Chains A and B, each alone.
Chain A
Amino acid sequence: MSAFWCLVRRDLRLAYRRGGDSVNVVIFFLLTVTLFPFGVGPETAILMRIAPGVIWVVALLAAMLSLDRLFRGDFDDGSLDLMILGPLPLEMTVLAKCLAHWLTTGLPLVIASPLLAVLLAMDGEGFTTLIGTMLLGTPVLSLIGAIGAALTVSLRSGGVLISLLVLPLYIPVLIFGVGAVDAAVYGLAARPHILVLGAMLIVALPLCPWASAAALRLSVE
């Protein structure tokens, strides 16, 4: 297990040294959401109506921005070969990298989202639900994204292809994430939506690392 945390620590340290990456993702998130009041006008009623959808859609895009470098750096400098060869099962390696990815992109998005909720005039009820669903949903984004990143790691320009592969798979997360917040805003039960999101996370936790590991093994051939 120490090898697992060793990998998480190293990825966090690399992200910290490179600095900009996480910050850029959050700034992208903030800027893009800020565009909507300009685009659709400042009427509070409209903004309130679209807020959950806007925040979730932009969070999906922001999380996707950073997927390409999930495995690419390690693939390019030969580290991936050594990780496959090492004693830590590749599935656990993928899980460690997903955890580091979530801590450096998903979690900052969750932290930034209340700011945007205020900007889009969301009320208190929706607010707490939004944070809850994002805490459950953004790890799923990292996990599903890992499959796309693993499949495209050996391609020179995988960036656009990742979006095409991964975005359709993000739709269920979007539906239930937005559904929960909408339900909370209109005073309905958000619990069923949140439970489905939790189920997605539980299913994605073993399946996505398994699929990504299979794709990575093919990529080093």
Chain B
Amino acid sequence: MSDQGSSAASGIIAKGLSCERGGRRVFEGVDFAVAPGAALLLRGPNGSGKTSLLRMIAGFLEPPEGRLTWNGRPFGEVDDEAGDDPARIAFVGHLDAVKRALSVAENLAFWAGLYGGGGGGVNQALDRLGIGHLAELPARFLSAGQRRRLGLARLMVTPAALWLLDEPTVTLDEASVAAVEALIAEHRDGGGMVMVATHAEMAIPGAAVLTLGAAR
């Protein structure tokens, strides 16, 4: 997937990654590369380590073996590099990080402020995912799908080079899935990278596929 390879090491490269959870080997010897503008689809049965791999890349888990590099440097070091965006990773996991006591717009504005993205695009981001009319509603009244959309709207207000999406389309209706696909396409057009773990069919043109834990 190094189709844009300005330098051989640009983007994210993983070599021989392994993962252990609770003493059990979940996967081992995983290699992949995601170049700027590329997308990687993670597939595999439940428990094959898709979420663990995404959390490993986000830095929550330390890989017991293997190497993860970003533009040729180990992940931890990149922060010191001048010119690197400090918030390089946006993560949308199983949990939507939505505070029920805050309104929809307040939830999103908080993440925009925390990630230094400014509060400007909040309403736009909500409109984009079809929850703009709910901006003033306390988030506890949202349906599961609407909450999910609020979680995904975060991607638009927290600038990041790499998106890690864990089952982004669960509970979403068709129109919203299309909106998410459009977001991913735009992000890639801007040179962003996307990794998506999903069981659903998603239209992500030219995405590489990484299949984990084939039947064990």
Determine which of B60, B95, B114 lies in contact with A221 in the assembled complex, contact meaning CB atoms within 8 Å: B60
**A42 contact set on B, CB distance < 8 A:** none
Question: Chain A residue with minimal CB distance to B119?
Answer: A6
Determine which of A13, A81, A86 lies in contact with B60 in the assembled complex, contact meaning CB atoms within 8 Å: A81
Is B61 in contact with A77, judged by CB distance below 8 angstroms? no
**B130 contact set on A, CB distance < 8 A:** none
Number of residues on chain A facing chain B (CB within 8 A): 24
Number of residues on chain B facing chain A (CB within 8 A): 29
- Nearest Cβ in chain A — how far from B148, in angstroms? 12
Is A77 in contact with B116, judged by CB distance below 8 angstroms? no
Stretch at the interface among B2-10, B24-32, B98-106, B193-201: B98-106
Question: Chain A residue with minimal CB distance to B107?
Answer: A10
Is A82 in contact with B91, judged by CB distance below 8 angstroms? yes
**Residue A156 lies at the interface, judged by CB distance under 8 Å to chain B:** no
**Residue B97 lies at the interface, judged by CB distance under 8 Å to chain A:** yes
Is A83 in contact with B114, judged by CB distance below 8 angstroms? yes
Is B98 in contact with A77, judged by CB distance below 8 angstroms? yes
The prevalent SS among residues of A at the interface is helix
Taken together as a complex, chains A and B put the C-alpha atoms of A81 and B115 apart, in Å, by: 13
- Nearest Cβ in chain A — how far from B199, in angstroms? 20
Is B102 in contact with A13, judged by CB distance below 8 angstroms? yes
Is B111 in contact with A77, judged by CB distance below 8 angstroms? no
Question: Chain B residue with minimal CB distance to A6?
Answer: B113
Taken together as a complex, chains A and B put the C-alpha atoms of A157 and B53 apart, in Å, by: 28
Taken together as a complex, chains A and B put the C-alpha atoms of A77 and B91 apart, in Å, by: 13
Q: Mask for B6-40, Cβ within 8 A of A = 1, else 0? A: 00000000000000000000000000000000000
- The answer to whether A77 and B60 touch (CB under 8 A), given A7-B114, A82-B111, is no
- The answer to whether A86 and B101 touch (CB under 8 A), given A10-B110, A81-B58, A81-B60, is no
**A87 contact set on B, CB distance < 8 A:** 86-87, 115-116
**A88 contact set on B, CB distance < 8 A:** 114
**Residue A211 lies at the interface, judged by CB distance under 8 Å to chain B:** no
- Nearest Cβ in chain A — how far from B17, in angstroms? 16
- Nearest Cβ in chain B — how far from A100, in angstroms? 13
**Residue A3 lies at the interface, judged by CB distance under 8 Å to chain B:** yes
**B99 contact set on A, CB distance < 8 A:** 10, 14, 73, 77, 79
Instruction: Enumerate the 4 nearest inter-chain pairs by beta-carbon distance, A residue then B residue, closest first.
Output: A78-B95, A6-B113, A17-B101, A87-B86
Q: Contact residues of A with B, CB < 8 Å?
A: 2-3, 6-7, 10, 13-14, 17-18, 73, 76-79, 81-88, 220-221
